Structure 1
Amino acid sequence: MKKNLHNLAYQLLIAKHLFRWTILAIPVSLITGSLVALFLWLLDRVTVIRWEHEWLLYLLPLAGVLIYFIYKPGGRNAEAGNSLIIDEIHQPGAGVPARMTPLVFITTIITHLFGGSAGREGTAVQMGGSMAGMLGRWFKLDHRDKSVLLQCGVAAGFGAVFGTPVTGALFAIEFVRPGRMQYKALLPCFIASMIADLTCSGLGIRHTLYQISPNLASLSTTGSFHVDQLLILRVIIAGVIFGLVGYLFSSLSHLVKDYSQRLIKPGYLRPFIGGVVIICLCFASGTNDYLGLGVTNPDPGGVSIVSAFREGGADHLSWLWKIIFTSITLGMGFKGGEVTPLFFIGATLGNTIAVITGTPVDLMAGLGFIAVFAAATNTPVACVIMGVELFGGEYVLYYAIVCFTAYYFSGPGGIYTSQKKGVSKMYPR
């Protein structure tokens, strides 16, 4: 009898905990989902404007100077972006300032309007984190609860910007400490991610649909999964390559940032020079395909994430060009995210690997899409689930193989310098 009463009391305590966090997560989700919807709508508009007025690219150096001076008066710690959020989750201190939202929102739109090669996840995550930080102060939460609410903000931003609510929740708890996920925040993060995604979708935002053929002739079916021993070997080899390329991207991004800060002392000159370099790279590559998000392309023969899922949809070096363009853009002071460029890099590299190995192009592009992201962010579990949410669950076995392999071969670091590694990627001796 006492044991039953104890169990009942425990279940009531759990119910109270979940109810409390649902109440706390709702305002974070609604605000973040609405902001992300506005952000994505504006991002589409400025991208079309840039496509229609290609001369805007030549103003990119001046746009970089403008971004610098927007941040200079009140940016302070807000300029640390995702690293500040990770630090505050680990050890709450001064907090994530609310001003981070308008700063990163405006400057990311400027970056894309004038042709910077950047993504959108960083902006969404920072908006979610800063709104969560603001509400945490309003609600007078203690340090532990502030950490969880910040993770809810990250989940809300990520889930809404990509339309992947389950991935958003897992990403929010995995990217903080890779290798040692803290599940205490899992359900609050899922609630926040789901409500933010519903809010964003309810405001009319539609996400890009990617498709992998469900019936690939080269595969045999065993149970619920497609299994092909030769394809598994190819996927493992591809996973190694995806991991090394993820490492290349994160290393080059940090290298560009470090050397530009060391060699170019006036802060406003760094994005100015970066903008000039991007213009020169467009002439060197002979195309504007590597500017902006790269999800779609107004030129039917151009390279994009969508085109990478079909034969002939990418050049053999498209992935390398995108690494260079994005590393220069973000490393020299422009704003945005790394994840969508990582999708581009992975999908186009997958396209190239598929052509060389004779693997189905759409499958390998999809595997590259999630694996390079997993490698550069150290979030393999979230990326496996992202594959299911974006492409369907039929090939989940291959998603797991490629993401876990890429994660192990991505080196000890990643794009988020404030990540605290939970465990080593190698077994102890």
Structure 2
Amino acid sequence: MSSKGKVNNGLHQRYLAKWLLIAGSIGAVAGVGAIVFYEAIHLFTYLFLNLGAGFHPPEALGEGQPVVTEISRRWMIPVVTTLGGLLSGLIVFKFAPEAEGHGTDAAIDAFHHKEGIIRARVPLVKIIASAITIGSGGSAGREGPTAQIAAGFGSIMGQLLKLNTRDRCIALATGIGAGIGAIFKAPLGGALLSTEILYLEGFEVQALVPSFIASLIGYTIFASYAGYMPVFGWMSQNIAFDPVTLLYYALLGVLCGLIGILYTKTFYATRNFFKKINLPKWLKPAAGGLLVGIMGLFLPQVLGMGYGWLQLGMLNKPLPLDIVVLLIFAKILATSLTIGSGGSGGVFAPGLFIGGMVGTALWQLLHGMVGHLPASPQPFIVVGMMALFGAVAHAPLAVMFMVGEMTGSYTMLVPAMIAVGIAYVLVGNNTIYESQVPTPADSPAHRLDYYLPLLENIKVKEVMTANIPLVTIHTSVAEAEELVKKQKIKGLPIVAGESNYQLLGVITREDIIRVPPLQRAETNVGQVMSAPPIVIGPNETLDVALTIMSDNDIAFLPVVEENKVVGLITRRDIIRTYILAAQKAGATSTRTQQQMTA
């Protein structure tokens, strides 16, 4: 068997055991984190809205009772929303500024551009700040914070276990799926979301199996505590499918696509407006909270997540049509003010609310005017939720399954296909998650995937540097440092003696830095070297070399034949070779096209 085959087989053999441990731990933290966050939201809702304003928002069936009550101190609504924004801003910008906004986007950015690293304090700050934002009436959801909590743990675990960059990114993506799958009691949708939400087009296939494991464990832990009933209860299974209604669902898809574009553009325009305002960052969420509170005086339905109002519509008790239409645009503005000002929360729940209200409005407009409509707006609400957020999140498949799990039924998947498809196409490249990249090929996290095919036919000995300086085990660290600086390399092989090229270890820049400057002249490299060294043979191919470097987070490899050093190959050498090979391949392709068209 070739060395390449051995490498691949070894990876496959270790894969399941490794990810059962890592994904299982991420799932457990996601489940516990979801419970803590869920209860924190209830606590702050009680303190701010219940005690403060005398307002008890209706809840979804899976989380409470969809009961509408009078607001005893309506005038207090702007007070509590402003106070909530102020506290959230103080906490976020004092301890972890990256916890502002909707956490899912921050996790996506960390996947693509930060090598899967999230600071350890971020999850805790996110829990507190987001619970205050939502509990005080801010128009935000709980999926973003939960995703960032679990993704943060995935990142922390990756750093503690010293996973390579690729695996650390996969652990982070796994956390996104586990957190969302747990808090929404949607394990399948959550797992799919972690693979789909990273890109405008495409999937992170390598995250699928770990996400299945983590999302299932997270869901089991959270549902064991909060109950296994879906968020919106059990949707009626007796809704008959009528092909004629596909025309109406297609129209719903068009409306959701257009409203989705308005949602994304309003959200980022508001965010950019607040960035330009000359106010301290910690004060801006209070300003956003005040404006949302003023809206809440007249339309209290815009406050919080709003699931209870959707639930009333599903129970055939929808709000009046004029209020529903007004709420579509009011919720877009309220969410933009809450999160765009720097408040902490998610955009998933508001997106579902907006889509559900679009579905309610269309059903009410058509009801009594056309035939073949369902007796209740429930199907239109569910499909509207899927279509709008599936489009703006560029995760149509995952959101369809998630909403199906949240309503306890997949009966609406057939009409949802046409609505979601149309909305997705209309939305185009507009997205609620600006950190998404177009495809996996555009992500820095996948740079190695596109190097390997061009490198698999080039051998190490064709690229390696043969005439390299060698140091013996008795060379001082100071001398090694001078050689590293002079040669502009990352490190040096250490051999047994000047006439004995048997490799004993390597010394890297990091090894040198760890020695205090005043002690480097008196310290031998043998005392600080990295051993046993990771090596490669001269007849191996460059894709194998790059894989080894990536898996071990190292920048160079000694080239060894019969246990003697014959050269050195660096990541820079491989990338330079890749660029030349790519240019050559491109030139060949151009000549071929010219010949074909001649």
Whether these two folds match at TM > 0.5 is yes
Query: 1:62/1:41 Cα in 2 relative to 1: closer, same or farther (>3 Å)?
Result: closer
Query: 1:351/1:15 Cα in 2 relative to 1: closer, same or farther (>3 Å)?
Result: farther
| Higher relative contact order (CA closer than 8 Å, sequence separation 6+) | 1
For residues 233 and 417 of structure 2, the distance between their equivalents in structure 1, rounded to whole angstroms, comes to: 18
Matched residue, 1:422 = 439
For residues 129 and 105 of structure 1, the distance between their equivalents in structure 2, rounded to whole angstroms, comes to: 13
- What amino acid is the match of 1:273? A
Normalising by structure 2, what TM-score? 0.63
For residues 140 and 295 of structure 2, the distance between their equivalents in structure 1, rounded to whole angstroms, comes to: 15
Matched residue, 1:18 = 16
Aligned-residue offset at 1:270: 1.8
Q: Is 1:291 the equivalent of 2:300?
A: no
Matched residue, 1:268 = 282
* Cα displacement string for residues 270-321 of structure 1 (whole angstroms, at most 9, x for unaligned residues): 22221221122123xx23121111122xxxxxxx121121444133322222
Q: Is 1:397 the equivalent of 2:409?
A: no
Equivalent residues of 1:78, 1:96 under 8 A apart: no
For residues 262 and 136 of structure 1, the distance between their equivalents in structure 2, rounded to whole angstroms, comes to: 37
Equivalent residues of 1:37, 1:200 under 8 A apart: yes
Matched residue, 1:426 = none
Matched residue, 1:323 = 332
1:369-388 equivalences under 5 Å are: 369-388=385-404
For residues 276 and 204 of structure 1, the distance between their equivalents in structure 2, rounded to whole angstroms, comes to: 32
Larger radius of gyration: 2
For residues 116 and 204 of structure 1, the distance between their equivalents in structure 2, rounded to whole angstroms, comes to: 23
SS across alignment from 2:343: coil
Name whichever of 377-386 and 119-128 sits farther off.
Answer: 377-386
Q: Is 1:68 the equivalent of 2:85?
A: no
Aligned-residue offset at 1:32: 1.6
Matched residue, 2:347 = 338
Please point out which of 304, 309, 312 is paired with 2:314.
309
SS across alignment from 1:73: helix
Aligned-residue offset at 1:66: 2.4
Matched residue, 2:190 = 168
For residues 94 and 146 of structure 1, the distance between their equivalents in structure 2, rounded to whole angstroms, comes to: 5
Aligned-residue offset at 1:400: 1.8
Q: Is 1:196 the equivalent of 2:218?
A: yes
Matched residue, 1:101 = 123
Equivalent residues of 1:119, 1:292 under 8 A apart: yes
Aligned-residue offset at 1:46: 2.8
Please point out which of 367, 382, 396 is paired with 1:366.
382
Equivalent residues of 1:212, 1:366 under 8 A apart: no
Aligned-residue offset at 1:380: 0.4
* Cα displacement string for residues 217-246 of structure 1 (whole angstroms, at most 9, x for unaligned residues): xx4xxxxxx3x3321111111111111112
Equivalent residues of 1:83, 1:417 under 8 A apart: yes
Matched residue, 1:143 = 165
For residues 188 and 252 of structure 2, the distance between their equivalents in structure 1, rounded to whole angstroms, comes to: 26
Equivalent residues of 1:67, 1:107 under 8 A apart: yes
Matched residue, 1:301 = none
Equivalent residues of 1:212, 1:363 under 8 A apart: no
Q: Is 1:208 the equivalent of 2:220?
A: no
Please point out which of 413, 423, 438 is paired with 1:406.
423
Question: How many residues get paired?
Answer: 401
Q: Is 1:126 the equivalent of 2:148?
A: yes
Equivalent residues of 2:42, 2:135 under 8 A apart: no
Aligned-residue offset at 1:265: 3.8
Matched residue, 1:300 = none
Aligned-residue offset at 1:262: 1.0
Matched residue, 1:222 = none
Matched residue, 2:267 = 253
Identity %: 26
For residues 92 and 72 of structure 1, the distance between their equivalents in structure 2, rounded to whole angstroms, comes to: 20
For residues 274 and 387 of structure 1, the distance between their equivalents in structure 2, rounded to whole angstroms, comes to: 29
Query: 1:74/1:35 Cα in 2 relative to 1: closer, same or farther (>3 Å)?
Result: same
* Cα displacement string for residues 36-74 of structure 1 (whole angstroms, at most 9, x for unaligned residues): 111112223333441343136413323323222212233
- What amino acid is the match of 1:53? G
Matched residue, 1:278 = 292
SS across alignment from 1:268: helix
Query: 1:265/1:98 Cα in 2 relative to 1: closer, same or farther (>3 Å)?
Result: same
Output the aligned Cα RMSD.
Answer: 2.5
Matched residue, 1:51 = 50
For residues 71 and 126 of structure 1, the distance between their equivalents in structure 2, rounded to whole angstroms, comes to: 14
* Cα displacement string for residues 137-180 of structure 1 (whole angstroms, at most 9, x for unaligned residues): 10000011011101111111010010001111110010101321
Matched residue, 1:155 = 177
- What amino acid is the match of 1:289? Q
Name whichever of 144-153 and 271-280 sits farther off.
Answer: 271-280
Aligned-residue offset at 1:377: 0.7
SS across alignment from 1:209: coil
Equivalent residues of 1:264, 1:270 under 8 A apart: no
Aligned-residue offset at 1:389: 2.0
Normalising by structure 1, what TM-score? 0.87
Name whichever of 178-187 and 89-98 sits farther off.
Answer: 89-98
Q: Please, which runs of 5 or more residues in structure 2 have no aligned partner?
A: 54-75, 368-372, 441-598
SS across alignment from 2:307: coil
